[in-house]
């Protein structure tokens, strides 16, 4: 009996350790994910809503767009990296950020290519390339081919999908 209790105790500790790695949610913008772990992050609508602010949810989970010149980072000139607000994956760095004049943070390339996915977006009769976080499928913004050298690309990203980490 005593042995059985010990086994249950160990199991309970292991399970709680496990679940604290997979869930976040002590409030908006808190995460416990490993930023280098590329394992897919899947959460329910309820869990995303508990983690994100209303605007972050609308943008990342429902492919919304924040109003130009209203986001936190369109004019941010500090050195650092921009991570997914949902799952903390590194997406862009300040080194590739440029002044686009659009009112949204703009980058000419992702920090790590495989972290930013591309999807065809034909909504509203436009043919655009939607960009998403490959780990949690968060909508980030769109990519256009009118960016500066060296890539000629412009990743037009919603501040609400990003979390900036200063160097």
Q: Among all residues, which ones are annotated catalytic?
A: 156
Q: Is 162 in the site for Fe ion (CB under 5 A)?
A: no
Total residues at the site for Fe ion (CB under 5 A)? 8
Q: Is 63 in the site for Fe ion (CB under 5 A)?
A: no
* Binding residue for Fe ion, selected from 136, 140, 143, 156, defined by CB under 5 A: 136
Q: Is 86 in the site for Fe ion (CB under 5 A)?
A: yes
Q: Is 131 in the site for Fe ion (CB under 5 A)?
A: no
In the bound state with Fe ion, the residue whose beta carbon lies nearer, of 80 and 148, is 80
Q: Interaction with Fe ion in 23-42: which residues (CB under 5 A)?
A: none
Q: Nearest distance from residue 60's CB to Fe ion, in Å?
A: 8
Give 41-48's long-range contacts (Cβ < 8 A, gap of 24+). Answer: 41/86, 41/87, 41/135, 41/136, 42/136, 43/136, 47/23, 48/86
Q: 150: cis peptide before it, omega within 30°?
A: yes
Q: Nearest distance from residue 150's CB to Fe ion, in Å?
A: 26
Region binding Fe ion by CB under 5 A among candidate stretches 6-14, 29-37, 102-110, 132-140: 132-140
Q: Which two tokens stand for residue 137?
A: 């499928």
Q: Is 91 in the site for Fe ion (CB under 5 A)?
A: no
Binding region for Fe ion (CB under 5 A): 84, 86-87, 89, 133, 135-136, 138
């Amino acid at each position: 009996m005593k042995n059985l209790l010990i086994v249950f105790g160990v199991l309970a500790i292991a399970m709680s350790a496990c679940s604290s790695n997979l869930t976040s949610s002590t409030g908006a913008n808190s995460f416990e994910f490993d930023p280098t772990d590329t394992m897919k992050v899947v959460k329910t609508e309820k869990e995303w809503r508990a983690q994100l602010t209303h605007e972050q949810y609308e943008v990342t989970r429902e492919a919304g767009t924040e109003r130009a010149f209203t986001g936190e980072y369109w004019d941010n000139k500090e050195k650092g990296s921009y991570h997914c607000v949902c799952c903390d994956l590194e997406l862009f760095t300040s080194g590739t950020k440029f002044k686009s004049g659009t009112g949204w943070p703009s980058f000419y390339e992702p920090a790590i290519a495989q972290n930013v996915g591309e999807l065809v977006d034909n909504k509203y009769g436009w043919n655009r390339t939607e960009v998403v976080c490959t780990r949690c499928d968060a909508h980030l913004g769109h990519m256009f081919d009118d960016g500066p050298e060296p890539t000629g690309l412009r990743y037009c990203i919603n501040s609400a999908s990003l979390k900036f980490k200063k160097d």
